[in-house]
Amino acid sequence: MTTRDIDRGAYPHFLLKEISEAPLSFRKTLRGKIVEHDGLLRAALGARTIPQSVVDGLRSGRIRSVRVIGQGTAAVAGQSAAVLLDELVESRLDVRAITATELSGFHLAVDMSDMLVIAVSQSGTTTDTNRTVDLVRGRGATVIGIVNRRNSDLTDKADGVLYTSDGRDVEMSVASTKAFYAQVAAGALLACAISDLAGAGSDRRRHEILTELRRMPDAMDTVLERRQDIAEAAQRFAPQRRYWAVVGNGPNKVAAEEVRVKLSELCYKSIACDVTEDKKHIDLSSEPLIFVCAAGLVGSTADDVAKEVAIYRAHKAAPIVVASEGETRFNGALHLVTVPVVDPALAFILSAMVGHLFGYEAALAIDALARPLREAREVIEDAIASGVTGDQMLRSVSRQIVPMAQRFFDTLRTGSYDGNLEASTAVRLSGLLRDSLSPQPLEAYQEDSGKVGSPSGLIDDLTAALTRAIEELTRPVDAIKHQAKTVTVGISRSDEAVLDRSLVREVLATGAGRDRLAYRTLKVLGALDGAVAAVTGFTRYQVEGDPSADATITVVDRGGVSLSLPSRVEQNSSLRGTKRRVAAEREVLVARGRSDGRHVILVPEVKGSQTTGITLLHVRFHEHLPVATIRTVLQGYDRRYDRLVDWVTETEGSFRDDLLIDVPVVDLLVAPISEVADRWRSQA
């Protein structure tokens, strides 16, 4: 990986950069692999891609079946190769696309020497695919890999390799796009070469396919120029519809499968993918947004799909149709996106590109709905950071969030939140915003919630409601919460900086659930992170019962130095001392062992309003820290900085920040404020 791989340039997201680079990746994949012979184009792949044993097997008829395998997007790209190869060989070979796991799980035979397996993988390290390759090769099958990464595991396992692009086309976005197009191009080249070697199909037809492959990057560039039209459709229709579907038929079913993957990844939707004509028999009652892949359709098939679109519209669905330029049959579409006319066998590529752009713009449109809520939460965070508390904080927050709340209510009335914000979240957030803006906010809050009205209670509940809504609406585009390539927990981006802190990661690594760590707990841990030099061990406890009554505590897990330390809990399971305080107050506590002087941080694990566990970290603090760093630590933990300033200025009149550097960090965090303040008085 080089700096050019991680340079976004002028693009706001890596995903858009990579979609825009797709035509170039497509060209690179074709480069040097199409030659002219007797006035016709032919695929020239060479022995490194198609070994002599495969050439002989295809020519002799020993190879009778082809399976194209992969997982995820690679499997979808493999489907396109299988569809095209099946057309070109005219039943001479048994061609099927199947996921790698299905092949290895249900379709292995003792003797597979008559099978050619085409394994598609972007990285060449996909475990499911590589394991299947091992299994089929062990049974005599020959394997050709389509892979982007040189010297990867798949390149070592396969008999032949066809590299996509230049063999190192790095993608930074989790959602893979340009790799898909390069894999499609590589699959088409293989389809032409294999059918030619098998003596099947028409040289003229292969020439037409290869000619269109050469033209395809220009057609893709034309689609990219229509991004604004696609964005308008996404912004208008995507946020309001809760249920989505993608349909296509023939080669466009491949595009539908690929678009389904990207819409699911980018927009956090569980999306159906159906054959166009089958949709009316399934779930039109949900009145979904339906993305119709119809590029390249002609004749009666186009007529039939146009009728299907009209049926969708009649059932109050929202059909967005991708069709070739000049197409006038899709009057039932709520929005029609046209693409250049290309060979019908390859037009699905343009349907997929429109779908990729639609997914990108839809994710942005959904994410934009969280903007006023993020701004409102920032107001609360700024108020907390400023040190104001109680009624003063509530008045400040209530005054500043008025425009954000109004934007939320205005958008809510338009129905734009209907597709992505849970009803319970919208109701709770609306109620808390109205309580906050009420002339008597605490009275309104107490009446609505049944809780004791207090500024901190209202602010905490409002923050939690805002956070939940933000989580439901946030679509980060380049990072996807459920994907293996990245580590996320499905929260808003404003939380990511906290989750990246070493101390937070240490707590999570002990087994503490993210859902049991309150937002304020994460903030405190993030603040304390700068003070901690090392975490040397941990003990996790389970708390049962009411901390104010006869609660008990038991050890769940231990690690590091904790393994060699005796624990009072093992002899007496009653919840007492500092652990009882942490469980009762549900606040992070820094403490120093009374007998051994060890430094620990106790972290409450909370479900609802009940403490269910405590994670105790054994830590080593830095001896001293720069003024700016320790001030940030003290501001974030138990308001130690503000309280210290108050104690000192009570008698000294001013507070010298520069003296913070002389006080041991652990004393600043643990010692009574009055004792720490004496250090300032002694300097007077």
pLDDT, tens digit, for every residue of 140-191? 999 999 998 888 899 999 999 999 986 666 788 888 899 999 999 999 999 9
Distance CA 498, CA 464 (A): 16
Any long-range contacts for 679-682 (C-beta under 8 Å, 24+ apart)? 680/648, 680/652, 680/655, 680/656, 681/648, 681/651, 681/652
pLDDT tens for 511-546 read: 998 889 887 898 899 899 999 999 999 999 999 999
pLDDT tens for 361-415 read: 999 999 999 999 999 999 999 999 998 888 899 999 999 999 999 999 999 999 9
Distance CA 274, CA 436 (A): 46
Phi, psi at 583, each rounded to 5°: -65, -40
- Which letter, b or e, does each residue of 351-377 get, where b requires 16 or more Cβ atoms within 10 Å of its Cβ? bbbbbbbbbbbbbbbbbebbebbbbbb
Burial-class residue 152 by CB neighbours within 10 Å (0-12, 13-18, 19+): buried
Phi, psi at 245, each rounded to 5°: -150, 155
DSSP-based three-state secondary structure for 535: strand
Distance CA 448, CA 620 (A): 46
pLDDT tens for 609-665 read: 899 999 999 999 999 999 989 998 999 999 999 999 999 998 887 899 999 999 999
Contact 370, 474 (CB under 8 A): yes
Q: What dihedral angle (degrees, nearest 10) is formed by the CA atoms of 49, 24, 215, 124?
A: 30
Distance CA 549, CA 135 (A): 60
Distance CA 602, CA 579 (A): 8
Q: What dihedral angle (degrees, nearest 10) is formed by the CA atoms of 18, 22, 28, 34?
A: 160
Helix or strand (DSSP H, E) at 337: strand 335-339
- Which letter, b or e, does each residue of 181-194 get, where b requires 16 or more Cβ atoms within 10 Å of its Cβ? bbbbbbbbbbbbbb
Residue 221 clears pLDDT 70, i.e. is over it: yes
Distance CA 601, CA 527 (A): 13
Six-digit token string for 367:
């994410």
Strand order of the β-sheet with 589-592 is 552-560, 532-544, 610-621, 599-607, 589-592
DSSP assignment, residue 453? P
Q: What is the mean pLDDT of the chain?
A: 92
- Rounded (10°) angle between helices 627-636 and 519-528: 160
pTM of the model: 0.71
DSSP-based three-state secondary structure for 120: strand
Distance CA 655, CA 553 (A): 42
Task: Kindly list the structural domains of the chain, giving each domain's residue range(s) and its CATH number in brackets, ordered by start.
Answer: 14-218 (3.40.50.10490), 226-367 (3.40.50.10490), 371-473 (1.20.120), 493-670 (3.30.450)
pLDDT recorded at residue 171: 81
Six-digit token string for 167:
């063999």
Range in 132-136, 225-229, 362-366 the model is least confident about: 132-136
pLDDT recorded at residue 515: 84
Distance CA 503, CA 489 (A): 16
CA 463 to chain centroid:
23
Q: At residue 497, what is the residue type?
A: A
Neighbours of 535 (CB within 10 A): 21
Q: What percent of the chain has pLDDT over 70?
A: 95
Q: At residue 136, what is the residue type?
A: V
Distance CA 534, CA 617 (A): 10
Q: What is the 3-state secondary structure (H, E, C) of 18-63?
A: HHHCHHHHHHHHHCCCEEEECCEEEECCCCCCCCHHHHHHHHHCCC
User: Average pLDDT of 107-111?
Assistant: 87
DSSP-based three-state secondary structure for 642: helix
Phi, psi at 624, each rounded to 5°: -140, 160
